[in-house]
Amino acid sequence: MFEIIICDDDSACLEQTNQLVNDWIETASVPVTVKTIDNGDMLLNYCNKYNPDMILLDIMMPLLNGMDVAREIREHNLTSKIIFLTSSPEFAIESYDVDASGYLLKPVDRDKLYKLLNKCLSEISRPADSITIHSAFGYQNIYLHNIEYLEAQNKKVIISLSNGDKTEAIGALSYYEKSLTLEKGFFKCHRSYIVYIPAVDHFSGTELVTKSGTRIPIARGLGRTFQDTYFSYMFRE
Task: Assess whether 82 and 180 both reside in one domain.
Answer: no
Listed range (36-45, 66-75, 89-98) with the worst mean pLDDT: 89-98
Last residue of a domain, one of 125, 148, 179: 125
Task: Assess whether 59 and 151 both reside in one domain.
Answer: no
Task: Assess whether 57 and 92 both reside in one domain.
Answer: yes
Query: Between residues 50 and 97, which one has the greater pLDDT?
Result: 50
| Mean pLDDT of all residues in 63-78 | 88
CB-based contacts of 223, cutoff 8 Å, min separation 6: 204, 205, 206
Question: Where do the H-state alpha helices sit in the chain?
Answer: 11-25, 40-47, 66-74, 110-125, 173-177, 223-234
* Residue-wise pLDDT tens digits, 88-132: 777 776 776 788 898 999 999 999 999 999 999 888 876 668 888
Of the candidates 137, 136, 166, 172, the one whose C-alpha atom is nearest the C-alpha of residue 154 is 172
Number of domains in the chain: 2
* Residue-wise pLDDT tens digits, 215-231: 999 999 999 999 999 99
CATH number at residue 84: 3.40.50.2300
Task: Assess whether 99 and 182 both reside in one domain.
Answer: no
Res 74: pLDDT = 86
Res 126: pLDDT = 64
Q: Which helix (H) or strand (E) holds 57?
A: strand 54-58
Res 122: pLDDT = 86
* Residue-wise pLDDT tens digits, 152-193: 998 899 999 998 999 999 888 988 898 899 999 999 999 999
Last residue of a domain, one of 103, 125, 147: 125
Q: Which domain, by its residues, includes 180?
A: 130-234
Task: Assess whether 24 and 65 both reside in one domain.
Answer: yes
Res 128: pLDDT = 66
Task: Assess whether 9 and 115 both reside in one domain.
Answer: yes
Task: Assess whether 23 and 114 both reside in one domain.
Answer: yes
Of the candidates 115, 48, 39, the one whose C-alpha atom is nearest the C-alpha of residue 80 is 48
Res 36: pLDDT = 98
Task: Assess whether 24 and 61 both reside in one domain.
Answer: yes
Task: Assess whether 117 and 193 both reside in one domain.
Answer: no
Task: Assess whether 12 and 113 both reside in one domain.
Answer: yes
Last residue of a domain, one of 105, 125, 145: 125
CB-based contacts of 215, cutoff 8 Å, min separation 6: 207, 208, 209
CATH number at residue 189: 2.40.50.1020
Looking at the chain, the whole-number percentage of residues with pLDDT higher than 90 is: 64
The chain-wide mean pLDDT, for the chain, equals 91
Of the candidates 79, 45, 42, the one whose C-alpha atom is nearest the C-alpha of residue 61 is 42
Task: Assess whether 216 and 103 both reside in one domain.
Answer: no
Res 92: pLDDT = 72
Give the integer Cα–Cα distance in Å for 27 and 46: 27
Looking at the chain, the whole-number percentage of residues with pLDDT higher than 70 is: 97
| Mean pLDDT of all residues in 127-150 | 85
Res 51: pLDDT = 86
pTM of the model: 0.58
Res 39: pLDDT = 96
Do residues 21 and 34 touch, judged by C-beta distance below 8 A?
yes
Give the integer Cα–Cα distance in Å for 125 and 165: 27
| Mean pLDDT of all residues in 54-67 | 93
Task: Assess whether 83 and 161 both reside in one domain.
Answer: no
